[in-house]
Amino acid sequence: MERYAAILLSVLLIGAWVHRSSATGPAGQADLHPRKSLGAGFRYSTYGPKYDPGPAYWARVGTEMAARFPGAHPEAIWIVGRLHGRGVRLSFPVPAGDPLIEGAENDENEAALSLFDEKGFRVWLQVEPGFAPVERQIHLVLKQYAHHRSVQGVGVDVEWNRSTNPDGGEPVSDGEARAWLEAARSYNPNYRLFLKHFKTDVMPPTLRDGLVFIDDSQIFPSFDAMIEEFAKWGRTFAPAPVSFQFGYPSDRPWWSRLKDPPAEIGRRILAAVPNTEALIWVDFTVLEVFPPDRASTAAERIVGIKVYEHKGDMRKLVDRFAELGINTVFANEALCGNADFRRQARERKMRVFVIEPTFFDPEALKADPDLYAITSKGERAKEDWVEFVCPTREEFRRRKVTALRDAVMRLQPDGVSLDFIRYFVYWEMVGPDRKPETLPDTCYCPHCLARFSADTGITLPPDIKTAPQAADWISRNQQERWIRWKAGVITSMVQNLEAAARQAKPGILVNLHAVPWRTNDFGGAIRRVAGQDFRALSQLADFVSPMCYTLMLHRDASWIRSVVQDIGAVSSCPVLPSIQVRPEYPGDDAMSTADFEEALKAALATPSRGVIFWSWDHLAKEPDKMAVLKKLASRGRSPS
Ligand SMILES: [Zn+2]
């Protein structure tokens, strides 16, 4: 992330160098090392994608990327050395000796590289050197991996050359580049060296033989601007080969509008830059552009239970879960804080998600009633037990993010389950016949109105003084913009929370509690009222979990299926519905064992990733329904 910040800061610099003449290529230099056939593939790092789907996934991405360009080989830039402090952390064990070079406890690359050997890949092994000596890193990397026939050489990200700031990367001299190349070629005379940056003037002034120059520039105002800049890069180093990294989130505004971004960007680069050797999609967005195959990554179906409190023996509790085929527990902080519970769950290899309520916080509201969200009628957002904090209060948001980070550090859960991550509505009481205009509409507090104006540049007329006036004016003049902005308020909070969780515990899973409304239910209320935009949220979360509580909502099993399908159609992560197993509120429908079985089947139907039962309190009182689960678990398979 630090890299992002730094790159964003460097946008001005990019602008400056773009206009500099780049016709300084070594004209007339013999083409000593002609470019190889075209390569197409991806960049890989441990920090790029939100999770690592594994070697088979990466092999698939390389193959699919190459298939877009006739005659192309699959290619990978595989980052084995990540900037770490002032030095580097290599993702395999290294002998002690240099304080700036740290190694991993176990090898993290062998399985992927072996697969790439089999699949005919060309692989670069890249380091982000920092102040650690580059030659020594090259020796360590190639001692470890030169036996792989897919390896074609090593690469250095010059942005991190004797620097911990990507704008401070020191230029590479001809002599240094030659020494690095020789270090690599002591393992294989055919090896080459790539040097990567977005600036041309940090590259060796004249040395070209054996080198490939990679441009990783980003933050382009348009597709045309990228092509123009890449073409200059190509001309600067011609006839030496050049390669390009693209698909950065900062450029998503224009590339996301393309039908097939990797293919269309690649084809235009090839047309504009004749010495292109490889086209590389970056890992920061790879999961959305090359969605992981759910069947292959969903090795195990999730069978979860929500538990809010338990007083008895923890071993017995976890044993009962196991008996029922439950493999994931969603528990509140109080239960997760119980060391015995955590130990029992760990011994049973049961995943534990800690449930974290976001904008539902009665204590905070009691302490500071000014935090209440305000409805379009000018009232506090409160109905029965449901009361909501205004979602734009920066101090409150920061407090929640810090609390989540602390909880993750302290409890080390397998996942976090974000609850009440939306605008105010008591959706549990919204039956099928509810009129959309009777749903609450928030938040029209002065903070939100000021924030809306600041974010969008839309100014409300000065004579608007009250929440009802503001709500009325917005609905008549800026309704769509307001709804989009509201969704952004929720999405940005999820972004903050998930980033804090993943920073506190890399590899942690993020589940998101969703209001169980389909896109068009109640006049688009999922976005208009709740502010939940599943297309955006699913890019941040690992699961979206609609609370398909049929008894309180007076719905049937087929409705569960339709909610999962509707959310699944726009989500880039799996959908994990939660179902009700027993009446909760006085007006709730009844549920027979047969109804339960129907609901369970519907919840597990494609594209669902599993099911969560709400809640243990309820299920524990239903021996017949538990028997259904037990029967299925003992058959050793999940129902379908
Ligand atoms: Zn507000």
What's the whole-number mean pLDDT along residues 455-459?
A: 95
Q: Tell me if 342 sits within 8 A of 354, measured CB to CB.
A: no
On the question of pLDDT at 293 being above 90, the answer is no
The structure tokens listed for 11 are 């946008």
> Residue 635: pLDDT band by 50, 70, 90 thresholds?
low
End-to-end CA distance of the chain: 41
Lookup result for tokens 């409300």: 460
Other CB atoms within 10 Å distance of the CB of residue 378? 14
Distance 400 CA to ligand 1 centre (A): 16
Distance 489 CA to ligand 1 centre (A): 10
SS (H, E, C) 156-203: EEHHHECCCCCCCCCCCCHHHHHHHHHHHHCCCCCCEEEEEECCHHHC
Question: Which pLDDT does position 28 carry in this prediction?
Answer: 36
Question: Which pLDDT does position 29 carry in this prediction?
Answer: 38
SS (H, E, C) 129-148: CECCCHHHHHHHHHHHHCCC
Distance 488 CA to ligand 1 centre (A): 14
- For the chain, the residue count is 640
Question: Does 2-7+38-289 match 294-634 in CATH topology?
Answer: yes
On the question of pLDDT at 638 being above 90, the answer is no
> Residue 35: pLDDT band by 50, 70, 90 thresholds?
low
Q: Tell me if 502 sits within 8 A of 453, measured CB to CB.
A: no
DSSP of 322-341, one letter per residue?
Answer: HHTT--EEEEEHHHHT-HHH
Q: Which residues pair with 28 in a beta bridge?
A: none
Name the fold adopted by 294-634: TIM Barrel (3.20.20)
Q: What is the CA radius of gyration of the chain?
A: 27
Distance 496 CA to ligand 1 centre (A): 18
Determine the distance from the C-alpha atom of residue 588 to the mean position of all C-alpha atoms in its chain, rounded to a whole number. Answer: 37
- Select from 155, 290, 254, 305 the least CA-distant residue to 620: 305
On the question of pLDDT at 419 being above 50, the answer is yes
pTM of the model: 0.60
Distance 50 CA to ligand 1 centre (A): 30
**pLDDT cut 70: percent of the chain above it:** 92
CA quadruple 221, 227, 233, 236: dihedral positive or negative?
negative
Q: Tell me if 51 sits within 8 A of 507, measured CB to CB.
A: yes
Query: pLDDT: is 6 or 370 the higher one?
Result: 370
Distance 57 CA to ligand 1 centre (A): 43
On the question of pLDDT at 23 being above 70, the answer is no
For 265-276, write each residue's pLDDT tens digit: 999 999 999 999
User: What is the CATH number assigned to the segment(s) 2-7+38-289?
Assistant: 3.20.20
Lookup result for tokens 């709804």: 483
Task: Give CA separation, 454 vs 23, 446, 477, 493, in Å.
Answer: 44, 12, 17, 18
> Residue 165: pLDDT band by 50, 70, 90 thresholds?
confident
Half-sphere exposure of 567 (CA within 13 A, CB side): 34
Distance 395 CA to ligand 1 centre (A): 13
Distance 514 CA to ligand 1 centre (A): 21
Distance 374 CA to ligand 1 centre (A): 6
The least confident of 65-79, 117-131, 295-309 is 295-309
Distance 490 CA to ligand 1 centre (A): 12
- In Å, the largest CA–CA distance within the chain is 86
**Please, what is the angle between helix 479-504 and helix 467-477, to 10°?**
100
Distance 370 CA to ligand 1 centre (A): 10
What's the whole-number mean pLDDT along residues 28-36?
A: 46
Half-sphere exposure of 148 (CA within 13 A, CB side): 27
Distance 390 CA to ligand 1 centre (A): 4
Distance 441 CA to ligand 1 centre (A): 11
Distance 355 CA to ligand 1 centre (A): 24
Q: Which residues pair with 82 in a beta bridge?
A: 89
**pLDDT cut 90: percent of the chain above it:** 81
Q: How far apart are CA 578 and CA 542, in angstroms?
A: 15
Question: Which pLDDT does position 16 carry in this prediction?
Answer: 36
Distance 387 CA to ligand 1 centre (A): 13
What's the whole-number mean pLDDT along residues 557-570?
A: 95
Q: Tell me if 116 sits within 8 A of 106, measured CB to CB.
A: no
Q: What is the DSSP letter of 76?
A: E
Distance 216 CA to ligand 1 centre (A): 40
Q: Tell me if 423 sits within 8 A of 442, measured CB to CB.
A: yes
What's the whole-number mean pLDDT along residues 367-390?
A: 98
CA quadruple 482, 484, 490, 496: dihedral positive or negative?
negative
Distance 383 CA to ligand 1 centre (A): 17
What's the whole-number mean pLDDT along residues 93-114?
A: 92
Distance 449 CA to ligand 1 centre (A): 7
Question: Which pLDDT does position 636 carry in this prediction?
Answer: 52
Q: How far apart are CA 637 and CA 614, in angstroms?
A: 21
Distance 460 CA to ligand 1 centre (A): 15
Residues 6+ apart with CB under 8 A from 90: 80, 81, 101, 102, 103, 104, 127, 137, 140, 141
The structure tokens listed for 254 are 């224009």
Distance 494 CA to ligand 1 centre (A): 17
Q: Tell me if 604 sits within 8 A of 301, measured CB to CB.
A: yes
On the question of pLDDT at 87 being above 50, the answer is yes
For 325-364, write each residue's pLDDT tens digit: 999 999 999 999 999 999 999 998 899 999 999 999 999 9
Q: What does the domain layout of the chain look like in residue ranges?
A: 2-7+38-289, 294-634
SS3 312: coil
Residues 6+ apart with CB under 8 A from 513: 417, 418, 419, 420, 421, 545, 547, 578
Distance 443 CA to ligand 1 centre (A): 5
The least confident of 284-298, 575-589, 617-631 is 284-298
Q: How far apart are CA 145 and CA 80, in angstroms?
A: 10
> Residue 577: pLDDT band by 50, 70, 90 thresholds?
very high
Distance 378 CA to ligand 1 centre (A): 11
What's the whole-number mean pLDDT along residues 463-476?
A: 97
Q: Tell me if 544 sits within 8 A of 422, measured CB to CB.
A: no
What's the whole-number mean pLDDT along residues 508-532?
A: 97
Question: How open is the CA angle 10-13-16, to the nearest 5 degrees?
Answer: 155
> Residue 299: pLDDT band by 50, 70, 90 thresholds?
low
Distance 354 CA to ligand 1 centre (A): 27
Distance 391 CA to ligand 1 centre (A): 6
Backbone angles phi, psi at 364, to 5 degrees: -65, -40
Distance 424 CA to ligand 1 centre (A): 11
The structure tokens listed for 605 are 């139907």
- Mean pLDDT value across the chain: 91
